[in-house]
Structure 1
Amino acid sequence: MTPETRQPLPMASTGCACCTPAPASDQTAPAAEAAPSAGTSATYQVEGMTCGHCATSVTEEITALEGVTDVRIDLVAGGLSTVTVSGMATPEAVRAAVEAAGYAVVAA
């Protein structure tokens, strides 16, 4: 295959935050639902994830937080995906991790 015949990846042209930079936003996302305590979980609505790679990026960032025991993502490509975080991470720390991955936590 020559460079002239290569086609761009479909996900790279859709504005996927893990594949192409998302436009900067001056908008601050609202607070998450509740701070989890030991052995509990909190659910966040995350905007902008479009593929499995997006979900993996968010999972890796959140899993790296102290006190996180599990991360589960219900991916809704192009919509609001549900991210459930188990453990003792604060909503502020989760929000920062999601933003570091290139996405935004929004109100439920």
Structure 2
Amino acid sequence: MEADMLDIENRAQLPLTSAGAGCGCCSSESSSAPVTSGAVEFTVEGLTCGHCVQRVEKAVAAIEGVEAATVELVPGGRSRLIIGGRATRAAVRGAVTSAGYTLSND
């Protein structure tokens, strides 16, 4: 019986969602589109937690032409911001700054 509970082949694959949408198993929203292969990466400084990530993702996603914005958090370090779609560096810098963080110059 214990072997049946650990049967990996019969486990359901659940979609992943962004940090602001809730978890994949109970979210009522459909998952956001994945970042395309033509994504652009930026480095953001000053993020320390999931709330910081949500603020930056929301601010950048509001830029016209941005299809997706995802942050890979490195608490207290340089986090990666990955953007799918089109946005100028100036627009991204403005959105990140308005959220209270710093876009690195590298």
Task: Report if TM-score (shorter chain) is over 0.5.
Answer: yes
CA RMSD of aligned residues (A): 1.2
**Secondary structure in 1 matching 2:63:** coil
Structure 2, unaligned stretches of length 5 or more? 1-36
The TM-score, its normalising length taken from structure 1, stands at 0.62
Q: Which runs of 4+ in 1 moved over 6 A?
A: none
Provide structure 1 residue ranges, at least 5 long, that are not aligned to the other structure. Answer: 1-38
Q: Deviations over 1:22-45 (max 9, x none)?
A: xxxxxxxxxxxxxxxxx8321110
**How many aligned positions are there?**
70
CA-CA distance at 1:100 after TM superposition: 0.3
**TM-score, L = length of structure 2:** 0.63
Q: Which one has more relative contact order, counting CA pairs under 8 Å at least 6 apart?
A: 1
Could you tell me the percent identity over the aligned residues? 41
- Looking at structure 1, the residues matched to 70 and 101 of structure 2 have their Cα atoms a distance apart, in angstroms, of 16
Structure number, greater radius of gyration = 2
In the aligned structure 2, how far is the partner of 1:97 from the partner of 1:56? 13
User: Cα deviation per residue 1:62-94 (whole Å; 9 max; x = unaligned)?
Assistant: 011100001111100000000011101111100
